């Protein structure tokens, strides 16, 4: 490639990323509105922008109760098949208690428990057998519960496509989750709501409806509802006033376990709604349910609250909608909750701290001051020590920073305080690459080579040294990104981009400036 085209290519690259870096010359509130200025900008993390720091406690004891309840179902089925009669079976204080009145029943229960290898007997009452999960199974169940909570919270809060941007959800200890949410009170309110809602979706055919529960019960003798029925309410979201009372079955006709997708949408009148899709098995069940109940109302219930109860007009297969008095944000959040799955383990906010924007602004000020002072010292020393070559290195370093910020802006990366440290480290690494090149060139000059030959040989000999050091650093950054969380990831992202831009600046931009001058000119000495 000719010198002219190399120069055009390098200048175009610097101008392109510099164009995106312009988006960061002002804050989001004061940025100029212009079609010539890109909207992309660096996002600021919690330590620079302020926001909420939560420590959430996970009630993992509930996972033990769920596991014991599941085992009860298996035990009852086996005892019924073998025609073994026992008394009351219940879960109390994370223990399984079974009333037995005969030796036959006790032997059958103990034999079944032994076959499962999940429970150990802890009581000594022959008529009230007491079991609890074995230590191994207890740890497995708690670990599974913790993993589920982490996955659901990450999908609801930290998913960049659906949740709150730039949030962090990570494990802390055995039974706690750390949540960091940059931004203001709006994001805090949304996140609280996502934590509060467990996300259990049910579909039930409506048997009767009235404005209040009293009016509904008045339709039946002595106000006693039919067997295996219950009342579900549709409430006003602001006042919690009951809008309608629906008589539905205790058991759901269909649950949200079959959902594969849920996303916000709009009806024909542009009112927000939630569109959902079932998997093939759920589609068959939903099709049978709607086909058998055309003309009836279908209550769509989330966490015991009726969101809508549309009348079934025709058979519905795999797709449906949840409509109601939604705002756009409520429809979006509901779709997030449904897609993330149900949060079956109770959680509670144990610690809440607020990082004020003023503290974040002070961090930005100090970080920028450190970066500017360090940059000024490095540029001054480099220019003084290496003269014209040092000026080349300084120009390449400035272009390096411009490209770095431009790349991060283009992809709307998140900048944290460790990220600022990554930028400072990038400055040092970029200068280090140029120092290696310049010292190689000086070695060749001392060997009495011409400036042109010294430049060519110096870059050639320094190439693999620079690549080796930077590839190693890039590998470390990738490991930090894959296994780190929060600020560590921010540092890894900045460092990774900085490694690439540093190599480009040292081996391409600096080399181009040497190609411009001295280039092919015959000079007696080189200013280095």
Q: What is the pLDDT of residues 341-367, one digit of tens each?
A: 666 677 888 888 776 666 566 767 777
Contact by Cβ (8 Å): 107, 119: no
Region 131-143: mean pLDDT is 88
- Give the tens place of pLDDT for each residue, 483-494: 776 667 778 888
Count of CA atoms in the C-beta half-sphere (13 A) of 3: 10
Question: In the predicted model, what is the mean pLDDT of residues 309-324?
Answer: 75
The band of 325, judged by pLDDT with boundaries at 50, 70 and 90, is: low
List, in order, residues 6 or more apart from 32 with CB less than 8 Å away. Answer: 26
The CATH T-level fold of domain 200-321 is Gyrase A; domain 2 (3.30.1360)
Compute the Cα dihedral for 477, 166, 52, 369 and give only its sign: positive
| CA count, 13 A, side-chain hemisphere, 221 | 2
Per-residue pLDDT reduced to its tens digit, 401-441: 889 888 888 877 777 778 878 887 887 788 888 899 999 99
Predicted pLDDT of residue 312 = 81
Q: What is the pLDDT of residue 342?
A: 62
Judged by DSSP in three states, 151 sits in helix
pLDDT digits (tens, 9 = 90+) for 246-260: 999 888 888 877 777
Is the model's pLDDT at 52 over the cut of 50? yes
pLDDT confidence bin for 187, thresholds 50/70/90: low
User: So what CATH class is 61-139?
Assistant: alpha beta
Q: Residue 131: in which H helix or E strand, if any? A: strand 128-133
- What's the whole-number mean pLDDT along residues 458-462? 90
Mean pLDDT across 296-320: 79
What's the pLDDT at 28?
A: 46
3-state secondary structure (DSSP) of residue 205: strand
Q: Which pLDDT score, from 0 to 100, does residue 331 have?
A: 76
Who has greater pLDDT, 143 or 185?
143
Domain range annotation of the chain: 3-49+358-516, 61-139, 200-321
Residues 6+ apart with CB under 8 A from 111: none
Q: Which of 150-159, 320-329, 477-486 has the highest mean pLDDT?
A: 477-486
Largest pairwise CA distance in the chain: 112
- How confident is residue 160, by pLDDT bands cut at 50, 70 and 90? low
CATH of domain 3-49+358-516: 1.20.1640.10
With a cut of 80, say whether residue 317 has pLDDT above it.
Answer: no
**CA gap 236, 488 in Å, rounded:** 43
Bond prior to 518 in cis (omega within 30° of 0)? yes
**Is residue 50 a contact partner of residue 182, using CB atoms and an 8 Å limit?**
yes
Please count the helices (runs of H) and the strands (runs of E) in the chain: 14, 20
pLDDT of res. 350: 87
Query: In this predicted model, what pLDDT tens digit does every residue of 71-128 receive, in sequence order?
Result: 888 888 888 888 888 888 888 888 899 888 888 888 888 888 888 788 888 877 878 8
- Six token digits for residue 29: 């509130």
Location of structure tokens 């949740």 = 163
Q: Has residue 27 got a pLDDT over 50?
A: no
- State yes or no: pLDDT of 508 exceeds 60: yes
Confidence of residue 39 (pLDDT cuts 50, 70, 90): low
pLDDT of 337 higher than 70? no
Predicted confidence (pLDDT) at residue 29 exceeds the cutoff of 50:
no
Q: Helix or strand or coil: residue 446?
A: helix
């Amino acid at each position: 490639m000719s010198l002219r085209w190399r120069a055009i290519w390098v200048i175009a690259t610097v101008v392109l990323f510099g164009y995106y870096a312009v988006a960061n010359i002002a804050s989001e509130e004061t940025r100029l509105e212009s079609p010539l200025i890109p909207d992309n900008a660096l996002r600021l993390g919690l330590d620079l922008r302020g926001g909420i720091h939560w420590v959430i406690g996970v009630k993992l004891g509930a996972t033990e109760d769920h596991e014991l309840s599941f085992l009860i179902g298996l035990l009852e089925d086996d005892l019924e098949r073998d025609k073994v009669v026992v008394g009351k079976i219940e879960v109390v204080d994370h223990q399984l208690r079974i009333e037995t009145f005969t030796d036959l029943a006790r032997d059958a229960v103990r034999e079944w428990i032994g076959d499962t290898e999940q429970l150990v007997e802890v009581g000594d009452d022959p008529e009230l057998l007491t079991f609890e999960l074995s230590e191994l199974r207890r740890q497995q169940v708690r670990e599974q519960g913790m993993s589920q909570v982490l996955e659901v919270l990450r999908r609801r809060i930290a998913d960049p496509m659906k949740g709150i941007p730039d949030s962090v959800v990570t494990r802390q200890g055995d039974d706690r989750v750390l949540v960091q949410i940059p931004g203001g009170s709006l994001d805090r309110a949304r996140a609280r709501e996502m934590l509060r809602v467990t996300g259990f979706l049910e579909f039930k055919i409506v048997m009767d409806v009235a404005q209040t529960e009293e009016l509904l019960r008045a339709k039946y003798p002595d106000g006693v509802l039919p067997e295996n029925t219950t009342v579900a309410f549709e409430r006003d979201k602001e006042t919690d006033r009951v809008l309608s009372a629906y008589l539905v079955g205790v058991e759901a006709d269909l649950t949200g376990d079959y959902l594969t997708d849920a996303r916000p949408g709009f009806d024909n009148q542009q009112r927000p709604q939630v569109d959902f899709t079932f998997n093939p098995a759920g589609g068959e069940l939903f099709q049978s349910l709607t086909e058998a109940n055309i003309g009836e109302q279908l209550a769509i219930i989330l966490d015991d609250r009726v969101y809508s109860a549309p009348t079934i007009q025709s058979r519905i297969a795999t797709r449906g909608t949840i409509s109601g008095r939604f705002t756009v944000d409520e429809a979006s959040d509901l779709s997030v909750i449904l897609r993330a799955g149900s949060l079956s383990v109770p959680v509670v906010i144990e610690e809440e701290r607020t990082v004020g924007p003023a503290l974040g602004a002070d961090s930005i000020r100090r970080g920028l001051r450190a970066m500017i002072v360090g940059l000024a010292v490095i540029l001054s020393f480099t220019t003084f020590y290496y003269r014209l070559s040092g000026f080349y290195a300084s120009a390449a370093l400035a272009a390096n920073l411009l490209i770095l910020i431009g790349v991060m802006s283009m992809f709307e990366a998140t900048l944290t305080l460790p990220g600022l440290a990554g930028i400072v480290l990038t400055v040092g690494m970029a200068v280090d690459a140029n120092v290696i090149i310049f010292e190689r060139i000086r070695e060749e000059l001392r060997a009495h080579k011409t400036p042109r030959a010294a430049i060519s040989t110096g870059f050639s000999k320094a190439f693999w040294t620079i690549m080796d050091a930077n590839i190693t650093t890039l590998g470390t950054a990738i490991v930090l990104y894959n296994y780190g969380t929060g600020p560590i990831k921010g540092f890894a992202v900045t460092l990774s981009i900085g490694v690439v831009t540093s190599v480009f600046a040292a081996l391409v931009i600096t080399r181009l400036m040497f190609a411009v001058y001295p280039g092919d000119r015959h000079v007696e000495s080189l200013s280095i």
